[in-house]
Structure 1
């Protein structure tokens, strides 16, 4: 009797698998899908920087993975990513609504919302950042203040080896605080440190195996102790910080000119209070601020950490950047974001840092809003779309030496800076990062200020800093120390 039951179960599983294979015929190819759990677990256990690039070499630039019953379409290389995000932008405009993303984002704010909520919140964020002076002198002054604080902190090391990661993180987080709240916080402020540490922990959870388990078995994982509960607690820390700042703004609100993101949002709420289609409310404001910290703090911080590591490993390139800055800016103590147009080599180096050491494993996921026929394959409605932006930035068809750190990728034969279509670290299409301009300003002003003030050297006895990263959702440089030696002219 037992043998009959086992044989029947095996037959049912075989029939289910055959039915699955038959129904998947028009879908892109991919690794063998197992019943119930799919196949993503095979890659989530030990992610590597080139995991998705290797999968693309085996199955093609459009491939299918499965997170349990959820279809995931991976896109690799410039051609496939451009076709999806730009040529089929509307078809891939949504974010996926997975168990974890729904719990953490509640489908509010800018990054994880969809439909009218996303359209209104995103449009407001872009307009608000422009009004606050992103791309102009308004925000520049705040970034310059952080650059000044950063230079003082680095100078305190007196040329001895030190870890730059915490000062960089605090400065970038304070730029977001200045934009969102209209003020900066001391590096010793306990509430500020809790905010920054909570943000760091949430980001470390994203893309982890623990997140994959929760996406597969939310009904089980939410009752078990572990990283999930701490992540949700950290999320509440960030949200509570935002609530407190909003209450301060409401209490002190007057008819003066709005000074920060909260001021502008409260004004928009007042203007829209009689509009039945308005999504401007305090919950969406809180989650928009949450998004600003989650999306904007680590990305710029990691890029600057990679920047200093690469400058220490390539002293010849570092010196060439410094000489250009000195020749162009001379004795001028201040400079602006617009000066990047005169600093061709410096601008090329910053772009090459972002290209060669892209700080995310892949781009942020999208969701197909309808069935899409693309490059000979059917992308089903509600599939999760993973655009591998790293593969675009390393595409051998687009870059002469994709694996090397080579600023010439962004220079013409005359040494003039040139933009490249395949430079997509901020994404593309409908969901391109709304904070792109702010991030570009931070990178240029902070990087240029640091190189102008210090020579970044390897500690004594160290021949080269390790460029093999720690990989999760983010691609993080391994902990390192460098020496920031003050330049004689600074």
Structure 2
């Protein structure tokens, strides 16, 4: 019996054959590329990647074709970097060359290569430098942002406390907590956990992340002009984007009406001030649409992946209660229960730190990374790669590299511990990518993952609904991101810590 996806692919093939009139023509390549599996006309290598776990399928192909090889995603060739060594040699040792952003149709339609995530060239460099400076000005990377996360953690813990140990799906509460941190930087304020408008927006972000991580999202990026005519959930992405754009535009308009030019309250004020400075410059990159897209990029990037990591982390800790218990014992011994853990405690919590790193390694929340494009010709592992080559930096392959991690397909915190039980970093750990396109919010995300998860474990026992042995850690869908399965857990307060004493 044909699966829905197979039927969709066959339909795409028939339409494409009718459209182009020839099933043997391949897309023009920018030059010779590394070898890889033989593609079919128009479909490329899609049938070899039909499993729905594109990261695993690519790693299997790498076993035959090596760490640098070419696959055809429909009519488009993509060079895959598969292994820690290949990723390091490209993204770090040739950082400038691999600093271009490869096009993804689902984002192209919305952003039109605007904003910070999907722009290139001088626009990207200008926006990146400006955004880094603005984020630092508003506390990212400083003690100020730690205080904001700790304040939000108290609100989150109070929400969990109110459940009185009843089963709950933690997604919305975690989304709200994480989003409030970046909102305080971008919008200048936080939102209540029951705010219906904000909960709607977080649901839109989650829905888009899930659809873009599904097979529908993958196929849209390969055959966008065809999928525009085929019914499916992928159409919701663009309706969601439109609703998000309206919300961000309204926030910008409110800032225009209430801001005082001499005092920047947040990122939007800072950007508006730069727009005023360059309003006479026809080549300026500081335009209203750029502000909308950059704000969306920061909002999405600062919420969905971190919240997904926290949610997946809770699921893993529920499945492995002995790991959670060992973290709690270390927290009790080092931090105690009189105050919340702080970032300065991290160096004295080697096992806890190792567990948090192992969660991120194990789940690889963005398994394929975001695509790159070469800014100039390059040589890599004996292969010539022409300028503009589309590159997939398979981050999950570094996390599953057996030369870097022992038993990499299993959850094992000792991957980040030395023989003495001290924390041991590993250069193959790259959840935020590498090089010039490394996530701008990597430092903030690390802080949030540590502060939120340790605060939860300090206050609560994590109890499963059912048997831990029956918990399946397989992603609900995978593609752009690894989305954890929907689950419930119970949070039961541990003794010796009251809500009043948890604040600083």
- Report if TM-score (shorter chain) is over 0.5: yes
Q: How does 1:105-144 map to 2 (within 5 A)?
A: 105-144=111-150
Match of 1:352 among 344, 347, 358: 358
TM-score (norm 2): 0.88
State which drifts further: 123-132 or 94-103: 94-103
Query: Does residue 199 of structure 1 match 2:205?
Result: yes
Q: CA deviation at 1:332?
A: 3.6
Residue in structure 2 matched with residue 483 of structure 1 by the alignment: 490
Residue in structure 1 matched with residue 4 of structure 2 by the alignment: none
Residue in structure 1 matched with residue 393 of structure 2 by the alignment: 387
User: Cα deviation per residue 1:183-237 (whole Å; 9 max; x = unaligned)?
Assistant: 1112222221221122122222324443444444444433454434321111111
Residue in structure 1 matched with residue 286 of structure 2 by the alignment: 280
Contact 2:318 2:468 in 1 (8 A): no
For residues 159 and 165 of structure 2, what CA distance do their matches in structure 1 show? 11
Residue in structure 1 matched with residue 242 of structure 2 by the alignment: 236
Match of 1:55 among 53, 61, 66: 61
Q: CA deviation at 1:177?
A: 1.5
Match of 2:169 among 149, 155, 163: 163
Change (3 A) 1:322 1:31: same
State which drifts further: 207-216 or 288-297: 207-216
Contact 1:41 1:67 in 2 (8 A): no
For residues 213 and 407 of structure 1, what CA distance do their matches in structure 2 show? 35
Residue in structure 2 matched with residue 84 of structure 1 by the alignment: 90
User: Cα deviation per residue 1:241-277 (whole Å; 9 max; x = unaligned)?
Assistant: 1111111111111156423211221222233334454
Query: Does residue 260 of structure 1 match 2:266?
Result: yes
Residue in structure 2 matched with residue 9 of structure 1 by the alignment: none
User: Secondary structure of 2:301's partner?
Assistant: helix
Structure 1 unmatched ranges of 5 or more? 1-11
Match of 1:421 among 408, 424, 427: 427
For residues 486 and 14 of structure 1, what CA distance do their matches in structure 2 show? 63
Change (3 A) 1:222 1:461: closer
Q: CA deviation at 1:121?
A: 1.0
For residues 317 and 221 of structure 2, what CA distance do their matches in structure 1 show? 40
Contact 2:366 2:482 in 1 (8 A): yes
User: Cα deviation per residue 1:274-311 (whole Å; 9 max; x = unaligned)?
Assistant: 44543112211110111123222221111111211121
Q: CA deviation at 1:488?
A: 0.3
User: Secondary structure of 1:91's partner?
Assistant: coil
For residues 393 and 305 of structure 1, what CA distance do their matches in structure 2 show? 19
State which drifts further: 303-312 or 402-411: 402-411
Query: Does residue 146 of structure 1 match 2:139?
Result: no
For residues 300 and 15 of structure 1, what CA distance do their matches in structure 2 show? 44
Residue in structure 1 matched with residue 502 of structure 2 by the alignment: none
User: Secondary structure of 2:469's partner?
Assistant: coil
Residue in structure 2 matched with residue 251 of structure 1 by the alignment: 257
User: Secondary structure of 2:70's partner?
Assistant: strand
Q: CA deviation at 1:140?
A: 1.9
Contact 1:92 1:367 in 2 (8 A): yes
Match of 2:183 among 177, 196, 205: 177
Contact 1:70 1:383 in 2 (8 A): no
Contact 1:467 1:478 in 2 (8 A): yes
Contact 1:458 1:464 in 2 (8 A): no
Change (3 A) 1:24 1:93: closer
User: Cα deviation per residue 1:370-429 (whole Å; 9 max; x = unaligned)?
Assistant: 332211112232221111111101111011231222222222233222221111111001
Match of 2:107 among 86, 101, 105: 101
State which drifts further: 41-50 or 354-363: 41-50
Residue in structure 1 matched with residue 17 of structure 2 by the alignment: none
Structure 2 unmatched ranges of 5 or more? 1-20, 498-504
Contact 2:31 2:386 in 1 (8 A): no
TM-score (norm 1): 0.90
Aligned residues: 476
Residue in structure 1 matched with residue 308 of structure 2 by the alignment: 302
User: Secondary structure of 1:386's partner?
Assistant: strand
Change (3 A) 1:130 1:224: same
For residues 98 and 255 of structure 1, what CA distance do their matches in structure 2 show? 37
Contact 1:355 1:393 in 2 (8 A): yes
State which drifts further: 336-345 or 433-442: 336-345
Contact 1:44 1:212 in 2 (8 A): no
Q: CA deviation at 1:42?
A: 4.2
User: Secondary structure of 2:151's partner?
Assistant: helix
Q: CA deviation at 1:462?
A: 4.9
Query: Does residue 449 of structure 1 match 2:469?
Result: no
CA RMSD of aligned residues (A): 2.5
